[in-house]
Structure 1
C-alpha cells in the first residue's frame, strides 16, 4: 500500500518523496482512511511510529486556504512536542495555510500579530491556548477538527480541567482525534466524553516487536557510585548520540554538574530551562553537535530524533510504560540500539516488573569503576 491508495493528494505525495518518505507506516495506513472518512479516532501508538503524519497529512490536504477561520486545533502536553508537530506541519504545508504555534515561553505579542493575518491550524499547549481564549485573541467557533496528542501525558500532567475548558469554547459537533501511548480507563473516559462512536486503532502489538532491535543491559550499583558507573560506561561506549534519563529536574541539574566535573560535556532539558535555550539545545542535538542529552521524562515527550544510538537510564523509570517509552527513543526505522539501566537495590522492584513485562531477564553488565 502507498500514499496514493490512502487518498493522499499528489502534491503531498511529491512533498513526502522530497523528504525521503515513500511508504506509509502501519499507524498511517490504519489512521489516515478513518480521518479522511471524518470519523473520530482513538489511536494507541508510541512516538516514532509516524503518528504525527498520520493525523497531519489528511488534515493539511483538507484545510481551505481561502478561509481565515481556525478549522483545526492540535493540543500537545509539552512545548517540545508542539514545536515538533509545528515543524512537520510547516514542512508539508502544500496549501500555504496559516499555521500558529502557541506555547509558553514564546512571545505572546508575535503570536497575536500572526493571529491577525488569519490562522487555519493552531498547535498549542493547553495553558497558552486558554490564555488566548480568555483574551478573545483566538476563536474556536469555526473549528471542525481537534487532535489531542499524548492524552495519557495530558492527564498525568494534570491538564484534564484545561482540556474540558478548551472544549467548552469549541462547537459541539467536531471530529475528535485522540492519540496515546497507553489507553486506560481515565483516557477512555475523557475521550468518550467528546467523541462520537470512535474507531479504536491499537498498533502496539506491532510496536512491541521493535524491542528485539534494542540490546538491553542493567548495571547494579548504589546511588553513591552511580555517577562513576555512568562515566565509565560512557567512556567505554563513546556513543554517537545518547539520551540520559533522570527522574527529576534536580537530579538532571546535579548530573550535568557532576559529568562536567569528570570532563564530560552534556546538555540538559527540563521545564525550568528557558524555552529559547531548550529549542537551541534540541536543534544542536538533532544536528549531532551534542553527544549527551540529559532529560526528564516530561521534557522528553515529543523528542523524536533519528540517530539516537544509546539510552542510559541513570534513574530507574517510575513504571514499565515509562521504561518502554524511554528505550523507544533508540532503534528507530529498523536501526539497532542499546540501552542500559543503572539501578540500586531500592529500585530492584521496578527492574523485576520490567523483566516480567518483557518476559526476559535483562543481562547484567559488569563495570569496574572503583
Structure 2
C-alpha cells in the first residue's frame, strides 16, 4: 500500500513526500488505516525496525486538534535515546502541520526546561516513565483529558523495572482513552498490562518473515579456543572495511576490555555501558550516529532503546541467555529494505543454543569460516582502491600537479601504484601475512604439528601476549636488531608468555647472533632455535609447555625465567 492511498491529511502527506516515504511497511499498512477510523485499543507485535513509529505516530498527528492547548497523546518508551528519536521522527512527520507542538521529556536533563515547554502547550508528549511520573507528581503534567496512550517497546520497559511507574501513569488517565501497545514479544508481564488496562484490543501481528527480517542475514563463527574470540572479531571487522555496527558483550568489564583493545588496535570504537554519566553517554551516541565511531561495544542494558539507522552489522560477542534478547539485538540492522548481518562468535558448546535460535527466528543461521589473512588483505586492498577511485578531487590541487609529475617522472605506472599501496597498506599487510589462520578446521589439522614450513627455521622468544607483544612488534624487533629488512619472515604464533616465529633458513645464524640477548620495553629477552617434537637435537623442545615441577609436586622456578627490570 502506498502512503498516498491512506486517508492522512494534506499536511502529513506533504511531509511524507518530502521524506520520500512511498510504500507502507506491513505493520504500517495494518495499523494506520485502522487507527484513523477507530478508537479501539490496539496490540501490535512487531520487531524493532519495522516502522512502528510511523504506524502509531501518523494517526496520532492526524487526530490532533491544535486549538486545544493541552496534551492529547502521550507516548511512553524505555530510554532517553528512543524518546529523542521518536520525537525527532514525529516532528518530521508534522513539519507542515502548523502550530502542532511535540515535547520530549526524559531524565538526565534540565526538568525546568521541560516544565516550561509543557506550560507553553504541548499536544503530543513523548517520555520515559520515570520522568513522566515525576512531572505528574509535581502537577506540571496532566493526563486526565488524554485521548491516547502509546506503550512503545513495552517488553523492554518492563524488563527495565518500569511496571510500577506504568501502572501509576495509566491509573491517572481517564477511562475513555485509547491504548496502543507495541512490543516485539508478549511475555506474561506485558499480557498482564493488556488484561488490566485495555478493552477488547485489536491484535496486529507482523510475521517474523516481514521485510525488516528478510533483509537480515544470520551467520555464526566457531572458535576452538575462547581466547581466539577477540582475534575473530578483528577479522570479521577487517574483512568488512565499511562495517558500522554494535558489538554486544555480556558484562560491563568485558565491554570496556573489548572496546579498549579495539581502540589500541586502531579501530574507530567506543563503549556504552552503565558506568557512563548521561553527558558521556550522549557524547558517545552522538559520535556513533554521526559515524565518527564505526563500532559501538555495548551491554544489553546500556543499549536498550537505542535507535540508530543504517547499521550494517550486529555482532554477538557472547550469546544472550534469552532467545528474545537475540531477536532485539539482531533487529537493529537490516531495516527499511537495507541489507544487514547478525553475527554470532561462538564455540562448540553454543551449537545447541544456535539451533534453538533458528527455531525462534524461523530462519537458518549459516556457519561461516573464519576469514583467512589472504582474504582479508584482498578485501582491504580493494576497499583502498575503491576509496581512491571514488574520492572527490580537490580543484585546488591542480596548481601542484606539474611539480608532482616532475617528482615522480622516474616511476612507471605499475611502480607508482606499488608505492601508493605500500604507503597506505604495508603495516596491515605485514600483520596478516605473518599471523596464523585461526579457523576451527585449521586448528584441528595443526594441533598435532608444530614443524616449520619447508625452507624456514622456527624460533622461540620469551615474549608473549602478557608483555603486550604483537606480530608487528616482533617484525620490528627482527628488522631493528638484524639491520636487515630483506629477511623473509614466515608464520608468527603469539602465546601468553612466549612466542614462536619462522624465518628463512638461510638467515638462521644471523637471527641467533643478533637476538641472542637484548632488551625490549625493559624486559630481558632472548631467542633460541625451536625444534619439533621428537627431534634428537640438543636444543630443548620449546613447542611444548615446560614442566617445572619436582617429584612431590612442588613448583620450582622455571629455567630462563625473566622479570621486569626495576626502574
Offset at residue 150 of structure 1 (A) = 0.7
Q: Secondary structure at the match of 2:59?
A: helix
Residue 103 of structure 1: aligned partner:
106
Of structures 1 and 2, the one scoring higher in RCO (CA 8 A, sep 6+) is: 1
What is the aligned counterpart of 1:362 among 345, 354, 366? 366
- Hey, what's the Cα distance between the residues in 2 that align with 1:118 and 1:334? 37
Segment drifting more, 347-356 vs 134-143: 347-356
Q: Secondary structure at the match of 1:342?
A: strand
Residue 127 of structure 1: aligned partner:
130
For the 8 Å contact 2:74–2:124, the answer to whether it is kept is: yes
Alignment of 1:270-281 (within 5 A): 270-281=273-284
What is the aligned counterpart of 1:204 among 189, 200, 207? 207
Alignment of 1:173-212 (within 5 A): 173-207=176-210, 210-211=213-214
Task: Extract unaligned runs of 5+ from structure 2.
Answer: 372-436, 439-492, 494-567
Residue 77 of structure 2: aligned partner:
76
Residue 452 of structure 2: aligned partner:
none
Q: How many residues were matched structurally? A: 370
- Hey, what's the Cα distance between the residues in 2 that align with 1:111 and 1:79? 14
Query: Given the two structures, how large is their TM-score scaled by the length of structure 2?
Result: 0.62
Alignment of 1:264-303 (within 5 A): 264-303=267-306
Segment drifting more, 358-367 vs 109-118: 358-367
Q: Secondary structure at the match of 1:204?
A: coil
Alignment of 1:1-370 (within 5 A): 1-36=1-36, 37-93=38-94, 94-207=97-210, 210-211=213-214, 213-345=216-348, 347-357=350-360, 358=362, 360=364, 362-366=366-370, 368-369=437-438
Q: Secondary structure at the match of 1:332?
A: coil
Segment drifting more, 109-118 vs 327-336: 327-336
Deviations 1:209-246 (Å, cap 9, x if unpaired)? 83464152323244433222212322232233121112
For the 8 Å contact 1:221–1:342, the answer to whether it is kept is: no
Deviations 1:2-23 (Å, cap 9, x if unpaired)? 2243211111011011011112
- Hey, what's the Cα distance between the residues in 2 that align with 1:61 and 1:208? 26
- Hey, what's the Cα distance between the residues in 2 that align with 1:347 and 1:18? 47
Query: Given the two structures, how large is their TM-score scaled by the length of structure 1?
Result: 0.92
- Hey, what's the Cα distance between the residues in 1 that align with 2:350 and 2:99? 51
For the 8 Å contact 2:212–2:337, the answer to whether it is kept is: no
- Hey, what's the Cα distance between the residues in 2 that align with 1:201 and 1:359? 22
Offset at residue 140 of structure 1 (A) = 1.0
- Hey, what's the Cα distance between the residues in 2 that align with 1:209 and 1:287? 23
- Hey, what's the Cα distance between the residues in 2 that align with 1:341 and 1:148? 31
- Hey, what's the Cα distance between the residues in 1 that align with 2:112 and 2:337? 43
Task: Extract unaligned runs of 5+ from structure 1.
Answer: none
- Hey, what's the Cα distance between the residues in 2 that align with 1:260 and 1:56? 39
Segment drifting more, 110-119 vs 183-192: 183-192
Offset at residue 196 of structure 1 (A) = 1.1
Q: Secondary structure at the match of 2:210?
A: helix
Segment drifting more, 266-275 vs 16-25: 266-275
Offset at residue 97 of structure 1 (A) = 2.0
Offset at residue 355 of structure 1 (A) = 3.4
- Hey, what's the Cα distance between the residues in 1 that align with 2:285 and 2:276? 12
Q: Secondary structure at the match of 2:176?
A: coil
Q: Secondary structure at the match of 1:33?
A: helix
- Hey, what's the Cα distance between the residues in 1 that align with 2:349 and 2:182? 34
Segment drifting more, 321-330 vs 113-122: 321-330
Q: Secondary structure at the match of 2:341?
A: strand
| CA RMSD, Structure 1 to Structure 2 (Å) | 2.2
